[in-house]
Amino acid sequence: MTTTTETRKFEAEVAQVLHLVTHSLYSHKEIFLRELISNASDACDKLRFESIANPDLLAGDSELHIDVSWDKAARTVTIRDTGIGMHRDDVVANIGTIASSGTRRFLEAMSGEQKADARLIGQFGVGFYSAFVVADRVTVLTRHAGAAPEAGVKWDSDGRGEYSLEDVTLPERGTTVVLHLKADEDEFLDGWKLRSLVRKYSDHVAFPIRMPKDAPSPVEDEDDAKADAAPEWETANDASALWTKPKSEISDAEYQNFYKSLGHDFNDAAAWTHNRVEGSQSFTTLLYLPSQPPFDLMMGGRDERKGLKLYIKRVFVMDAAEELLPNYLRFVRGVVDADDLPLNVSRELLQHNRQLDRIKGACVKRVLDLIEKLARDEPEKFTAFYKAFGNTLKEGIVEDASNRERIAKLLRFASTKGEGASQTVSLDEYVGRMPVGQDTIWYITADGHKAAAGSPQLEAFRAKDIEVLLMFDRIDEWMLGSLHEYAGKSMKNVAKGELPLDEADKAKQEEAATAAAPLVERIKSLLGERVGDVRVSARLTDSPSCLALADYEMAPHLARLLREAGQDVPDNKPTLEINPQHALLQRIESEADDAKATDLATLLLEQAEIAAGAPLPDPAAFVQRMNRVLLGG
Ligand code: ADP
Ligand code: MG
C-alpha cells in the first residue's frame, strides 16, 4: 500500500564510501553479517533502553531478537530485528547520508595518502554499507517502535548512486534488511556457513540471534507478503552478556571474539582484564588493550561512540568512553556494567556523579595494572602495544598527576646506551645503571633520532660515559614540562643549566673560560644582535659550537614547530657555547680581517642552530656566507 515513492541520490560522500568499501573489503567480505547484526543489536539496545521510560514502545511484543534467514531460490539473505526501527527521516539521515562521525573521518583519511585498507575500514565499522560487498541490491524495511503500521518505510538501492524510498505498511516494528546476493556469493546461501559466522563474530551479542531450524525459511516476497508457514527458529548464538559469566567459564577465544565484535577490529586484543567489584557499589568491568592503533588515534581525533560501553544492570545505556576513562587511555575498549546507577541517567548527570567517579578510578587502576603486567610478562606484546599507544600514554604524565609515577614507569625511550633508535629503555633501567654519585636523569630532545644522537650537546656526556635518554617524539617536550623527577632523581635536559662537573672539571672549565675571555668578547661583538650571550662550553669535546638553553627556555625545534602552527612563541636570542680547543675557533682568533672573522663566527652560530633544529633566519645569506668561506679560504 504505497503512498509516496521517491528516488534520491546518495550524498556524494556515501557514493565514495560505497565505492571504497566494496572494493577494499573484498578479502573480509564475511564481516557484512557482523556489521548488520551489530546494527540490529544496537537497535534492540536502543529500544530496551527507551522502553524503560516509555513501556508502550514495546506494544505487545516485548521480545527483542534478531533473525537471520536465507532463501536459495531467491538468492537472498535476510537480517531482521525487533528493535527500535526507523522513521522515514531517520532512514534518509542514517543510510542516505554519512551520519557517523567515524565514517566521515574514515573518508577524510582515505582521500589523503592512506590506501584503503580493510583493517582501517573494520575499525571504523562502516557498517551498513558493507552489505554491498556481497549484495548488488539491498532492501530495508523498517518501522519505528510506537509508530502506526502504515508508517513503515521501504528503502531500496543497488548501491550505485541512487536509492528509492516508499511508504509501506508493516505489521511489526523493527528493521528487515534483505540482501540480494551477487552472482558469485552463493556461499552465503548456506545455513552451516551463516551459523558459523554468527558463532564466530556475534556469539555474545546479548540478544538471541535466531536461525531457521532445519530447512531455510522462505523469505517473503516484499511486494506480496505471503503468510508462509512460520519456520521453526532456534537460537544460534550464546546470547548472554559475556562479562556476566565467571572468568573461569570464558575461554581466551571467547574473550577475543567478543573484543573483535565490540571494537569492530579484525585483530586480536593485546590483553584484557575482567573484574567484578562487590560492595556498597557493585560493578563489572571488562577492559581490553588493542594491539593495533585504531585509525582515529593517528588522526588525532577519537571515536567516543565505539570505545567503552556503559551498561546498567545488563541494559546498554550509552557509549561513555569520555565519562569512564581519562583521555590518555582512549585506546581502551570494553564494557562497564554498573548495578547501582539509575537507569534514566543522562550524560550530564554522569559527568557529576560520585559513583561514576569511583568506577572511573577503578577503570584507570585496572588498565594501568594491565599495562604493567603486559610489560612484565609479555615484553614482545608490550613493545608492539607501546609502539602503537606509547605517545598517547605520555599525555597521562600531564593529565593525570595522581598516576604520574606509574605512567612514567611504563614509558620507554631510546638512549645513548640503547640500540639505535629503538625506544626500549625504561626510567627504572636508566636509574638502575646510574653510577654512584649521579643524581640526575639526563635527556635530550630533538626532531628525530639522528638529530638527538648526533647532537654536540652529548659530547661531554659521552666523554664521561654518562647515559642520556634520546627523546624525539613531538609530545616529549610537552610531557617533560610535567615530569621533573622520577624515583627521587631530577630529570634534566642536557642543553640546560649546569653540567655534572666534579671539582677538577670545574677548575679546568674556569681556567679555559679565563684563557678564552678575549675570544669570547670578540665573537660577541662580531655577532652583535644575533646572540644573547657567548660563553665557553663544558659540553663540547669535538664540535666547535652548540646552543645552550636557559631553564625556562623552549627547545629550538619545538619553538619552530609551534611557530609553524601559528602560535606566539617568545623570541629568545640564543646563547652560543664555543669550544676554544677547536681549530675553527683558533682560526677566528687569528683572523685579522673583521669581515672574514664575522663570516666564520656567524657560521659557528648557524651550524649550532641547524644542529638544534632551529630555523635559519636568512638561508640565502647563510649559503652566500658559506660559499665565500669555502672559496676565500
Ligand atoms: P553505525 O552503526 O556505526 O552508526 P552503520 O552504517 O552500521 O553505522 O549504520 C548507520 C545507522 O543506520 C545507524 O547508526 C542506525 O542509526 C541506522 N541503522 C542501521 N541499521 C539499523 C537497524 N537494524 N535498526 C535501526 N537503525 C539502523
Ligand atoms: Mg553499525
Three state DSSP letters for 613-629 = CCCCCCHHHHHHHHHHH
Q: If you take atom 20 of ligand 1, which residue's CA is the nearest one?
A: 39
Matching residue, cell 635530550: 444
CA dihedral sign of residues 472, 475, 478, 484 = negative
Looking at the predicted structure, is the pLDDT value of residue 164 above 80? yes
**Which ligand does the CA of 124 lie closest to?**
1
Mutate to test the pocket of ligand 1, among 68, 128, 173 (most ligand atoms within 8 A of CB): 128
**Could you tell me which of 379, 480, 388 has the C-alpha nearest to residue 425?**
379
Please report the pLDDT score of residue 468 as a whole number: 97
Looking at the predicted structure, is the pLDDT value of residue 1 above 50? no
Residue 190 Cα, ligand 1 centroid: separation in angstroms?
25
DSSP letter for each residue of 489-535: EEEEETTBS-----HHHHHHHHHHHHHTHHHHHHHHHHHGGG-SEEE
Q: Which atom of ligand 1 is nearest to the CA of 126?
A: 6
Residue 456 Cα, ligand 1 centroid: separation in angstroms?
57
Mean pLDDT of 232-259: 92
**Which ligand does the CA of 78 lie closest to?**
1
CA dihedral 131, 161, 16, 265 (to 10 degrees): -10
CA distance 281 to 287: 19
Q: Which residues line ligand 1 (CB under 6 A)?
A: 35, 39-40, 42-43, 81, 83-86, 94-95, 99-100, 125, 127-128, 175
Query: Could you tell me the three cell numbers for 304?
Result: 567516543
Instruction: Specify whether domain 244-404 bears CATH 3.30.230.80.
Output: yes
Q: If you take atom 17 of ligand 1, which residue's CA is the nearest one?
A: 94
Please report the pLDDT score of residue 117 as a whole number: 52
Q: Which atom of ligand 1 is nearest to the CA of 128?
A: 6
CA distance 323 to 332: 13
CA distance 272 to 282: 20
Q: What's the whole-number average pLDDT of the chain?
A: 87
Q: If you take atom 4 of ligand 1, which residue's CA is the nearest one?
A: 100
CATH assignment of 413-494? 3.40.50.11260
Residue 516 Cα, ligand 1 centroid: separation in angstroms?
75
Mean pLDDT of 127-142: 92
**Which residues on neighbouring strands pair with residue 289, listed in sequence order?**
271
Which amino acid appears at position 294 of this protein? P
Which amino acid appears at position 551 of this protein? D
Which amino acid appears at position 560 of this protein? R
The CATH number of domain 498-633, selected from 3.30.420.10, 1.10.1740.10, 3.40.50.12780, 1.20.120.790 = 1.20.120.790
Mean pLDDT of 408-414: 97
Q: What are phi and psi of 65, to 5 degrees?
A: -155, 170
Looking at the predicted structure, is the pLDDT value of residue 300 above 70? no
Please report the pLDDT score of residue 553 as a whole number: 85
Which residues, 6 or more positions from 72, have their beta carbon under 8 angstroms from its beta carbon?
A: 189, 216
Please report the pLDDT score of residue 3 as a whole number: 58
- Distance (Å) of CA 1 to CA 140, 170, 175, 223: 16, 10, 18, 9
Which amino acid appears at position 298 of this protein? M
Looking at the predicted structure, is the pLDDT value of residue 522 above 60? yes
Please report the pLDDT score of residue 282 as a whole number: 92
Cα angle 260, 81, 228; round to 5: 130
Q: If you take atom 7 of ligand 1, which residue's CA is the nearest one?
A: 127
**For residue 495, how many other CB atoms are within 10 A of its CB?**
25
Residue 338 Cα, ligand 2 centroid: separation in angstroms?
24
Confidence class for position 339, pLDDT limits 50, 70, 90: confident
Is 332 or 226 the better-scoring residue by pLDDT? 332
Which amino acid appears at position 554 of this protein? M
Looking at the predicted structure, is the pLDDT value of residue 93 above 70? yes
CA distance 141 to 223: 11
Q: Which atom of ligand 1 is nearest to the CA of 79?
A: 23
Q: Are 83 and 40 in contact (CB under 8 A)?
A: yes
Q: If you take atom 12 of ligand 1, which residue's CA is the nearest one?
A: 94
Please report the pLDDT score of residue 228 as a whole number: 55
In terms of average pLDDT, the best of 197-201, 349-353, 354-358, 393-397 is 393-397
Residue 589 Cα, ligand 1 centroid: separation in angstroms?
76
CA distance 508 to 138: 83
Looking at the predicted structure, is the pLDDT value of residue 15 above 90? no
In terms of average pLDDT, the best of 93-97, 258-262, 464-468, 552-556 is 464-468
What letter does residue 314 receive in the DSSP assignment? T
Please report the pLDDT score of residue 305 as a whole number: 47
Q: Lowest-pLDDT range, 34-48, 339-353, 413-427?
A: 339-353
Mutate to test the pocket of ligand 1, among 94, 97, 205, 209 (most ligand atoms within 8 A of CB): 94
Residue 130 Cα, ligand 1 centroid: separation in angstroms?
12
As a whole-number percent, the residues of the chain with pLDDT over 70 amount to 89
Please report the pLDDT score of residue 409 as a whole number: 97
**Which residues on neighbouring strands pair with residue 426, listed in sequence order?**
412
Q: If you take atom 21 of ligand 1, which residue's CA is the nearest one?
A: 39
Q: Which atom of ligand 1 is nearest to the CA of 127?
A: 7
As a whole-number percent, the residues of the chain with pLDDT over 90 amount to 62
What letter does residue 344 receive in the DSSP assignment? T
- Distance (Å) of CA 52 to CA 49, 62, 146, 343: 6, 12, 14, 8
Q: Which residues sit with Cβ closer than 5 angstroms to ligand 2, an ion?
A: 38-39, 127
Confidence class for position 118, pLDDT limits 50, 70, 90: very low
CA distance 622 to 625: 5
**Which residues on neighbouring strands pair with residue 66, listed in sequence order?**
81, 209
| Helix 517-527, helix 594-611: angle, nearest 10 | 90
Residue 89 Cα, ligand 1 centroid: separation in angstroms?
13
Q: Are 271 and 286 in contact (CB under 8 A)?
A: no
Please report the pLDDT score of residue 150 as a whole number: 96
Residue 630 Cα, ligand 1 centroid: separation in angstroms?
68
CA distance 231 to 212: 6
Q: How far from each other are the two terminal CA atoms of the chain, in whole angstroms? A: 95
Residue 305 Cα, ligand 2 centroid: separation in angstroms?
11
Looking at the predicted structure, is the pLDDT value of residue 425 above 60? yes
Task: With H, G, I as helix, E, B as strand and everything else as coil, classify residue 197.
Answer: helix
Confidence class for position 582, pLDDT limits 50, 70, 90: very high
Please report the pLDDT score of residue 429 as a whole number: 96
Mean pLDDT of 453-463: 93
Residue 326 Cα, ligand 2 centroid: separation in angstroms?
25
Q: Which atom of ligand 1 is nearest to the CA of 125?
A: 3
Please report the pLDDT score of residue 212 as a whole number: 95
The alpha helices in 400-446, defined as continuous H runs, are 404-410, 427-432
Q: Which atom of ligand 1 is nearest to the CA of 174?
A: 24
- The tens digit of pLDDT for each residue in 25-73 reads 666 788 899 889 989 999 999 999 999 889 999 987 889 999 999 999 9
Residue 37 Cα, ligand 2 centroid: separation in angstroms?
8
Mutate to test the pocket of ligand 1, among 22, 42, 90, 209 (most ligand atoms within 8 A of CB): 42
Q: Where are the chain's structural domains?
A: 5-229, 244-404, 413-494, 498-633
In terms of average pLDDT, the best of 228-237, 378-387, 554-563 is 378-387
**Which ligand does the CA of 130 lie closest to?**
1
Confidence class for position 266, pLDDT limits 50, 70, 90: confident
Task: With H, G, I as helix, E, B as strand and everything else as coil, classify residue 218.
Answer: coil
Instruction: Specify whether domain 5-229 bears CATH 3.30.565.10.
Output: yes
Query: Could you tell me the three cell numbers for 265?
Result: 577490529
**Which ligand does the CA of 43 lie closest to?**
1
Mutate to test the pocket of ligand 1, among 25, 39, 296 (most ligand atoms within 8 A of CB): 39
Residue 93 Cα, ligand 1 centroid: separation in angstroms?
10
Residue 134 Cα, ligand 2 centroid: separation in angstroms?
16
CA distance 415 to 227: 73
**Which residues on neighbouring strands pair with residue 180, listed in sequence order?**
76, 137
Query: Could you tell me the three cell numbers for 593?
Result: 680581517
Q: What are phi and psi of 629, to 5 degrees?
A: -70, -40
Q: Are 405 and 419 in contact (CB under 8 A)?
A: no
Which residues, 6 or more positions from 570, have their beta carbon under 8 angstroms from its beta carbon?
A: none
CA distance 580 to 7: 81
Please report the pLDDT score of residue 238 as a whole number: 87
Q: Which atom of ligand 1 is nearest to the CA of 124?
A: 3
**Which ligand does the CA of 46 lie closest to?**
1
Residue 176 Cα, ligand 1 centroid: separation in angstroms?
12
Q: If you take atom 14 of ligand 1, which residue's CA is the nearest one?
A: 94
CA distance 73 to 76: 8
Mean pLDDT of 93-114: 62
Q: If you take atom 10 of ligand 1, which residue's CA is the nearest one?
A: 94
List Cβ<8 Å contacts ≥24 apart for 151-159.
151/87, 151/88, 153/86, 153/87, 153/88, 153/91, 154/222, 155/91, 155/95, 157/10, 159/18, 159/22, 159/129, 159/131, 159/132, 159/135
Please report the pLDDT score of residue 317 as a whole number: 84
